[in-house]
Amino acid sequence: MSIKYQEIAEITSQEEISDGIFSMWIKTENIAKNAVAGQFVSLYSSDSASILPRPISICEVKDDKSGLRLVYRVAGKGTSEFSGLKEKDTIKVLGPLGNGYTLKNETAMLIAGGIGVPPIVELAKQLHQKGIKDIKAVVGYRSELFLKEELEKYCNVYVATEDGSSGVKGNVMDAIRENGLTADVVYACGPKPMLKAVSDYAKQNDIEAQISLEERMACGIGACLACVCKSKEVDEHSNVKNKRICADGPVFDSREVEL
C-alpha cells in the first residue's frame, strides 16, 4: 500500500483552459515525489460544512517532483470554490491515492474521453521517458479541445469530436477504426460507456487493457465502500464481487471488472 501524505499545498498558478475546465499547479512536499500516472489526490474545501473531499486526477508531475498539475471540470460547489483560488493561495490535499497504470515495454494506445484526458498526459510522458517509441493517444471531446498540445510532446494524437469540429466525427472507437490504429496494450480513462467499448475492443483483439474508472467518491481511501464496481472475483475486503474504485483502482485490468 502506498504512503499517503496530507499537506497544505500552495497554488502556483491556475487558468481556465476550456469552458469550465481549469488547470491548477500546486506545490507539494511529498505527494508529487511519490505520485505515479493514474493516481489522484483529494482536495478539501475551506467550508467547514463540506466534510468530504473532492477527488481530482493527477494530470502532470513536475520534472523535479516539486509539484502537481490538476486539470478538472467545475461540476459543483467544491470544484467551483477551487476554480476561484489564485497564486499563493493554499489548499489541504491528501495523496497520492489509488493505484496507477502499470507501464509495459510494448507499443501503447492511450484512449481518453472528456475529463478522462488529463490523467493520460503524465502517462504519455512516463511511457515516452521509458523509451517506448510507438505511442498513440486517441482523445474524444464534445467540441472544444484541451491538453492536445501537451500530449503531442510525447505521442501521435488522434481526435474525435461529437460535433465533427475537429478530427473524426464521432467517438474514440470511430477514430481508432478510421485511422486503422493498433497497439500491444491499451490504457484508457473516461466515462463508463467508453470504457465498456474499450474493454470489448481489447477482448476482441486479445490485447491487454488497463482502464481507469470514473466514480463519485466519498472518503477516497477505501473505508466507506461508496465507490464500488462489480468484479469477476470475490473481493477480500468486502467478501462480495466488488472492487473499491478509490483503493483497489482507479486503474484495473479490464478483465478484472464488469462494466
Per-residue pLDDT at 1: 54
Do 226 and 170 have their domain in common? no
Give the Cβ contact number of residue 77 at 10 Å: 13
Q: Do 176 and 91 share a structural domain?
A: no
> Which pLDDT band, with edges at 50, 70 and 90, does 49 fall under?
confident
**Number of neighbouring beta carbons within 10 Å of residue 129:** 11
d(CA 40, CA 4): 11
**CATH at residue 75:** 2.40.30.10
2-31 average pLDDT score: 96
Residues 182 and 197 in one domain: yes
Name residues whose C-beta falls within 8 Å of residue 73's C-beta, 6 or more positions apart in sequence: 20, 21, 22, 79, 114, 115
Same domain, 85 and 122: no
Q: Give the mean model confidence (pLDDT) for residues 159-164.
A: 96
User: 47 or 189, which is more confident?
Assistant: 189
User: What are the residues whose beta carbons fall under 8 Å from the beta carbon of 22, sequence distance 6 or more?
Assistant: 14, 15, 16, 71, 72, 73, 74, 79, 82, 83
- Per the structure, the count of domains in the chain is 3
What average pLDDT is seen over the chain?
89
Cell numbers describing residue 212: 481507469
Lowest mean pLDDT among 5-9, 68-72, 217-221, 233-237: 217-221
Same domain? For 225 and 187 the reply is no
150: Cβ–Cβ under 8 A, 6 or more apart, which residues?
60, 121
The overall longest dimension of the chain from CA atoms, in Å, is 52
The whole-number pLDDT of residue 259 equals 72
Output the pTM of the full model: 0.91
CATH at 234: 2.10.240.10
pLDDT in tens, 107-131: 999 999 999 999 999 999 999 999 9
**Do 133 and 54 fall into the same domain?**
no
Rounded to whole angstroms, the Cα distance separating 155 from 169 reads: 21
Tell me: the pLDDT tens digits for 213-245? 865 544 445 454 555 545 556 556 556 555 655
Beta-carbon neighbour count of residue 85 at 10 Å?
17
Instruction: Tell me the CB-side half-sphere exposure of residue 194, using CA atoms within 13 A.
Output: 31
Q: Which set of grid coordinates corresponds to residue 152?
A: 503531442
Give the cell for residue 118. 488529463
Out of 97, 122, 156, a domain closes at 97
Query: Which residues form the domain of 227?
Result: 215-259
Q: What is the pLDDT of residue 224?
A: 47
